[in-house]
Copies of this chain bind each other. A is one copy, B any other.
């Protein structure tokens, strides 16, 4: 196995570089064969590494970057005005072959724009897509894409998302024959828009994917499909509305617990055991959206990630880089293009 190197944008995210360095502490112990280039303001990072007793760690190096892309920066502005940002420098390390993957918790729009500009898409790939793993009732995971890189998609793009998601599920979820579905407002062939129906025909007639048909929103968490494809507008709203519902339920659970002595007592007594049984649903485990279709591994960590969640994003980057996901996608897309020619 070749030695991997990841570039970590330490300055993105709502909580600043401290959670990144804390995540790194776990990562260097879990992945002894991986090197980390930590990109950001040298002095600040040096202090943080020192506080975690990581300042002389052989697997960690600092790459100085003066500027930081903020959450408020518009993507176009960040691209033009901040060439010295930590995000940009991390992507350049990847583009120049000094790293095999990037992890950033920064501004999603800026990351997508910069990554697309610096790395470019793989040959034959129409558009990159943002993809994440969802927990499902079978105890496994399903990939959902696109989550917002492309608000409007044509049928060819949706078809390619199916191909790319299928390769990703094979390589990183170890599913030998991933079942690919299109998200639609009904399961019948006549449902939905022309774009979705045409994408279904393309997926149906391709050898490159195991297409199982349309699924509805309520099947997103059942494990009926391993790869769920939709445009970025739909994927973004589906995922965020689920986040919203989860917040509503958590708020309700909290006020229920507070409302009666017996609840408070019970939850104090069993909180540890209860926590365990919910761990598989823990959002921290599902942190890390992959920007796929580009010439390199790029993982977007949630802006509000804690160190545990940021570690999950690093883990995802290690897996994708080890499995050489971009190379695998490239070769599958090439074979599809030959199939269609």
Contact = CB atoms under 8 A, between A and B. Distances in A.
Number of copies: 2
Contact of A221 (B137, B219, B248, B269): B248
A190 interface: yes
Interface of A: 74, 109, 135-137, 148, 151-152, 183-186, 188, 190-193, 216-222, 230, 232-234, 236-249, 251-252, 255-256, 259-260, 262-263, 266, 269-270, 273-274, 277-278, 281
Given A237-B183, A252-B277, A244 B220 contact: yes
Given A234-B234, A236-B185, A259-B277, A192 B242 contact: no
A238 B217 contact: yes
Given A151-B192, A151-B193, A236 B217 contact: yes
Interface of chain A: mostly helix, strand, loop or mixed: helix
Contacts of A249: 246, 249, 281
Contacts of A74: 188, 190
A136 B241 CA distance: 12
A200 B137 CA distance: 38
Residue with the highest number of chain B CB atoms closer than 10 Å, among A233, A243, A246: A233
